[in-house]
Amino acid sequence: MLEGITAGFILSLALFPGTVWLAKVGANGTKRQVCAVGLAFALSQLIWLFVSVPGLMMMSRHLSFLRLGMHVFAAFVLGYMAVKFFRTRRVEVLDDAGELPTPMVLFRTAFNRALAMPMRLPTAMAVLLATGVYVTNPPSWQLVPSVMFGGLIGVGWWWGQMAFLSIVFAKRVPAYYTLKSLNKIRPFCAVLFCFLCFIALLLAG
């Protein structure tokens, strides 16, 4: 379960544009709009996790001869994500969201955009491989529910706390401090994904 929590949290943390958008909705919108966006991002990440957990289990179980290749590919994906975070622009403003639509429209738009991002599935599988979930545990169907439940906790943890912070503090705290906090996530993710890339290569052996 711990690996699932870790993977769910990191995968959600890596959706940096989503976190920024949630903060902007919090600074310019209502509580219902913030909850709609947070729920949309959480559900989109859960879908990718719930696909990657059993998929990776079956690959580890039936294609064990590809273990080295899977971990090298995971390291490549994680390294790519690290470079992407290093090159991501700083967040400069919070008040450029414009007039926000209804919560349902916000939910649908956020969900579709997050789900359609091409790197979400490879990233989910790469993060799971870096946690070593199928290295420290035998790949079996009995393990899948606990990992998926852990993923639910991790994803809910991140988006729940971000929605709460956006509702409670986005309009009360000066924008400077919110921007400062958001811009700390970007380099942290870059360093974190470099570390995960290294771990994936170590587990390849």
Q: How far apart are CA 150 and CA 5, in angstroms?
A: 4
pLDDT at 139 over 90: no
Distance CA 159, CA 20 (A): 12
Q: What is the pLDDT, as a whole number, of residue 136?
A: 79
Residue 154 has pLDDT above 90, yes or no: yes
Residue 102's contacts (CB-CB under 8 Å, 6 or more residues apart) are none
Structural domain boundaries, residue 100: 2-204
The total number of structural domains in the chain stands at 1
Across the chain, mean pLDDT equals: 90
119 contacts: CB under 8 Å, gap ≥ 6:
77, 80, 81
The stretch 90-111 carries a mean pLDDT of: 90
Q: How confident is the model at residue 205 (pLDDT cuts 50, 70, 90)?
A: low
The mean per-residue pLDDT over the stretch 180-185 comes to 93
Quick one: which of 13, 71, 55, 9 has its CA closest to 199? Answer: 71
Alpha carbon separation from 176 to 54, 95, 98, 170 (Å, rounded): 43, 12, 19, 11
Range of weakest confidence among 7-11, 46-50, 147-151, 169-173: 169-173
Instruction: State how far the Cα of 131 lies from the Cα of 43, in Å rounded to an integer.
Output: 22
pLDDT of residue 142 exceeding 80, the answer is: yes
| pLDDT tens track for 42-100 | 999 999 999 999 988 888 877 777 778 888 999 999 999 999 999 998 998 888 877 89
Any residues with CB less than 8 A from the CB of 52 and at least 6 apart, and which? 121, 124, 125, 128
| pTM over the 0.85 mark | yes
- The candidate with the shortest Cα–Cα distance to 5, out of 55, 49, 54, 52, is 49
Q: Is the pLDDT of residue 127 over 70?
A: yes
Residues 148/49, Cβ–Cβ less than 8 Å? yes
CA distance 57 to 133: 9
